[in-house]
Amino acid sequence: MSHATIGVRALAIAIACLSMPLPVAGAIDLIPKEAVVRDRTVFARVVNNGWHPEYVEISLSRLLNPGVPLKDERLEEVGDSAHPALYAFPFRFSLAPGQTKTITLKPLRPVASETVYRLNVKPVVRMQAERTTATAGSVVISVGFSGLVRQMPENEREALSVTCTAPGAARLTATGTVRFTVKGATVDGQPLEDFNVYPGLPLPLNGRVVAIPGHSAC
């Protein structure tokens, strides 16, 4: 298998990972799966579609390298930041069957460029005596899931530059303030799915011939 083919497949995986939420656990659902925050507070909803009460923990993490496969994502808990730009609350709550609770996404300060977060929803199952032989009151964390939150700058501008770093090698850089969606790109004549390039995160493409619409081929 050629290096170009491997690179194309890796890029396709990265696109799919970022565009889709992580798998939903149990009966809990998050609506919407992707939220956009500008200068006003935005709300999301967590719904219990099951037959039993659910206990849920919420956390918000900034995605430091959006666009990579899930296994390569680097996250920073918003609570660990000295000057967070976005805040999510409440952190923990219970949901009766069929009940919905609201999560508040409140911007604290403007951002210079598009900033991407994962809103993590983690169901917590409180073990009942009839369901386990473990000590009463013990807690088991089930597999959680997450949605995407995009915090947008006041001045939203899309722009892309393409630099040929070597024959068959290109570096794509988003020179605006928000992600640039690349459409119709090819590597060695093989079309790529649409993908995003984020400000501050140049994306390399390698093959024998890299072609980006509107730019000279590399």
> How is the chain split into domains, by residue range?
13-151, 157-211
Residue 126: per-residue pLDDT:
58
Q: Which stretches in the chain have pLDDT values below 50?
A: 2-6, 13, 16-17, 19-25, 127-143
Residue 105: per-residue pLDDT:
98
pLDDT, tens digit, 9 for 90 and up, residues 40-55? 999 999 999 888 888 9
Closest CA to 211 of 176, 170, 165, 152: 170
Residue 39: per-residue pLDDT:
94
Topology of the domain covering 13-151 = Immunoglobulin-like (2.60.40)
| Cα dihedral sign, 177-183-186-190 | positive
Residue 145: per-residue pLDDT:
73
Whether 215 contacts 200, CB under 8 Å: no
Separation between Cα atoms, residue 135 and residue 127, nearest integer Å: 8
Give the Cβ contact number of residue 15 at 10 Å.
Answer: 17
Q: Are strands 139-141 and 186-187 parallel, antiparallel or unpaired?
A: unpaired
Q: Which H or E run includes 28?
A: strand 28-31
Residue 88: per-residue pLDDT:
96
Torsion of CA 47, 29, 198, 78, to 10 degrees: 60
